[in-house]
Amino acid sequence: MRSFLKLVFTSCLGSILAIFFLLIIILTISLISTSGKKNIPKDAVLLLDFEGLMPEKTNNVSQNNQFNFNPKSAIGTFKIIELIKHAASDERISQIVINSENSQMGFVSMTHLAEALNYCRENSNKPIYAYGDFFTQSGYILASEADSIFLNPQGGIDLRGFGVMKSFSKDFLEKLGIKMNVFYAGEFKSAAEVYYRNDMSENSKKQTREYLNALHNSFVDIIAENRNIDKAVLSDGIDNYSFSNAQSSLQKGVVDELLHWFQLEDKIRKNLGLSDGKKINYIKLSEYDKKTNLSKNKKSAKDKIAVVFAEGEIRYGEETDGIINEKTYHKIFDKIKKNKDIKAMVLRVNSPGGSSFTSDAILEEIKSMQANGLPVIASFGNYAASGGYYIACSADTIVAEQNTLTGSIGAFSVFPDASVLMEDRLGIHFDTVKTGKFATSFSPTLKLGPNEKQIIENSNKRIYNTFINRVATGRGMTTEEVEQIAKGRVWIGTKAKELKLVDEIGNLQDAIDIAANKVGLEDYSLLEYPNIETSPWMEFVASLAENNSTEIKFKDHQITQEILKLKSRLKFYSKNKSPLVLMPFKVVF
């Protein structure tokens, strides 16, 4: 027995010592990798790359990729705006280079970043250059804020206007033996058309065209002003796709000079007084974020305004960063209720919607907070549609951006019928024994009967009517007035204001100012939610891999990607226990 205890003790001690020495090694490497953390070289050049995931709140995205051993920090757009504005007065930054040909963000986010670049240009003497081999529209709208735009002599600019392309899976699913039963309330609620049509309905085309036309006009206005180009010339070039050629882009004034990257670097060296080939001290946004302490400029007043970011799809029961769910936001609201220093709440919505159950749960909790005396101001980002609008419709004041896509007051349900796949294609047959009429109902392996269809239809209509009533109550309108502008139709921010779906056109800061004025605060600080936590281990792995990415990427053909996307959506629909309040399309520029 003593030998056994001695062996166990020795093994445990060995394990503890091994773990201890491993921690020492990790700590040492971590200290080495972060040495000089706050040191930014003199005459550093801030390199702006806006590619990749860009949530509104930093790291509010899912990092659940088991093949990613380099979890990158997803800096939020509002943090990027702060960093760019800070660079204007930062003596360590000598120049700014926008090296971002493409970006994955909504139009509203792009315009905010463009405004930050404009601020930097107007409030400093630092040169701002933009360079690209090939610019997409999203990359070019940001580049247009630069003092000078340089394009590769063999490159071009993909200015072609805005479009939406939707893939329709009806025939594909039927070949597999799957039929999608779709139920919808609202004639413009077209999100599920891809499962029962082979093309877009006229209503879907109508609302999509109106939205795209509004964005196109805003885009042309911004570029024409930034580049001092006649709108007619710009529009003609877009219609004829003239800017795809570098020489044509130069002649029409959308770029300033045709250069290779090394030639631009020669210009940068000349500005810095560096000799040929001398190293340029570039600093990327992620590094600049780590080495810049913006918190010293933050107010620490006793009175607080809570800013709650609700971005991503609304999904029942999914407690994941970048997803809106009832559990996470219940915890957030509990924290706000307990904090007596919080005098008002701003709900920043950037969501296309999702689960009606979760949307209603969040709305009811917000209404409860309002009933207890907490003013709530809603601020809309790129999207605040369907469920995204649902959760905010009771706010004391709703502030939308000019190009926010909002509305989409409607509901739909999707129920798959794989009985043909099972019976005819795979030869799998089902038989039932039941004690109740609906005991084996609502199974994707069995056909939906008339009674089952009626139950789903009634549920869908009930959610639609509830949605209309929630909006009518929250907006001080009659149900008849809401019904006229509902029907699942989406509206752009300025039109939504005319229809009384929103109160003001403005940004997040405008909403915060309204909240402060409502409770009479002049001196206050902000508390942001949700709190995005990154484990020390993941931060350590990311720091080691920052310059040596070990992320495994899978290159799929477009058809494979479409199938994977379809699989993901079907899984999403099957998990929802209630009808969906989800907008019909998203546009990425």
Residue 534, domain member (yes or no): yes
pLDDT confidence tier of residue 24, bands split at 50, 70 and 90: low
Give backbone dihedrals phi and psi of 88, rounded to 5 degrees, phi first: -60, -35
pLDDT beyond 60 at 535:
no
Instruction: Specify whether 337 is located in the same domain as 262.
Output: no
pLDDT beyond 90 at 23:
no
Per-residue pLDDT, 571: 62
Residues 385, 585 contacting (CB under 8 angstroms):
no
Q: Over range 540-548, report the average pLDDT.
A: 45
As given in the structure block, the two tokens for residue 343 are 């005098």
Q: Over range 262-284, report the average pLDDT.
A: 95
Domain boundary among 290, 323, 355: 290
Instruction: Specify whether 59 is located in the same domain as 122.
Output: yes
pLDDT beyond 70 at 539:
no
Instruction: Specify whether 329 is located in the same domain as 393.
Output: yes
pLDDT beyond 80 at 333:
yes
Which of these ranges, 29-43, 190-204, 459-473, has the smallest mean pLDDT? 29-43
Residue 257, domain member (yes or no): yes
Residue 137, domain member (yes or no): yes
Instruction: Specify whether 286 is located in the same domain as 309.
Output: no
**Dist. CA 8–CA 227, nearest whole Å:** 75
Per-residue pLDDT, 21: 57
Per-residue pLDDT, 31: 45
Residue 80, domain member (yes or no): yes
Instruction: Specify whether 496 is located in the same domain as 378.
Output: yes
Residue 487, domain member (yes or no): yes
Pick from 484, 483, 491: which is nearest to 467 by CA? 483
Looking up tokens 């917000």 gives: 366
Instruction: Specify whether 389 is located in the same domain as 265.
Output: no
Domain that holds residue 535: 298-413+464-551
Instruction: Specify whether 246 is located in the same domain as 154.
Output: yes
3-class SS shares of the chain: helix, strand, coil, % to 5: 45, 15, 40
Pick from 218, 214, 209: which is nearest to 110 by CA? 218
Instruction: Specify whether 341 is located in the same domain as 476.
Output: yes
pLDDT confidence tier of residue 477, bands split at 50, 70 and 90: very high
DSSP category for residue 242: G
pLDDT digit string, tens, across residues 286-309: 999 999 988 766 768 999 999 999
Identify the three-state secondary structure at position 23. helix
Residue 193, domain member (yes or no): no
pLDDT confidence tier of residue 568, bands split at 50, 70 and 90: low
Instruction: Specify whether 147 is located in the same domain as 252.
Output: yes
Q: What is the pTM of this model?
A: 0.86
Instruction: Specify whether 270 is located in the same domain as 404.
Output: no
Residue 519, domain member (yes or no): yes
**Dist. CA 381–CA 562, nearest whole Å:** 27
Looking up tokens 């107010």 gives: 299
Looking up tokens 């939205």 gives: 211
CATH code, domain carrying 268: 3.90.226.10
pLDDT confidence tier of residue 10, bands split at 50, 70 and 90: low
Domains identified in the chain, total number: 2
Pick from 91, 105, 165, 109: which is nearest to 136 by CA? 105
Per-residue pLDDT, 566: 58
Residue 139, domain member (yes or no): yes
**Dist. CA 219–CA 226, nearest whole Å:** 11
Pick from 94, 150, 89, 91: which is nearest to 127 by CA? 94
Instruction: Specify whether 259 is located in the same domain as 132.
Output: yes
pLDDT digit string, tens, across residues 212-256: 999 999 999 999 999 999 999 999 999 999 999 999 999 999 999
Instruction: Specify whether 330 is located in the same domain as 377.
Output: yes
Q: Over range 486-503, report the average pLDDT.
A: 97
pLDDT digit string, tens, across residues 111-120: 999 999 999 9
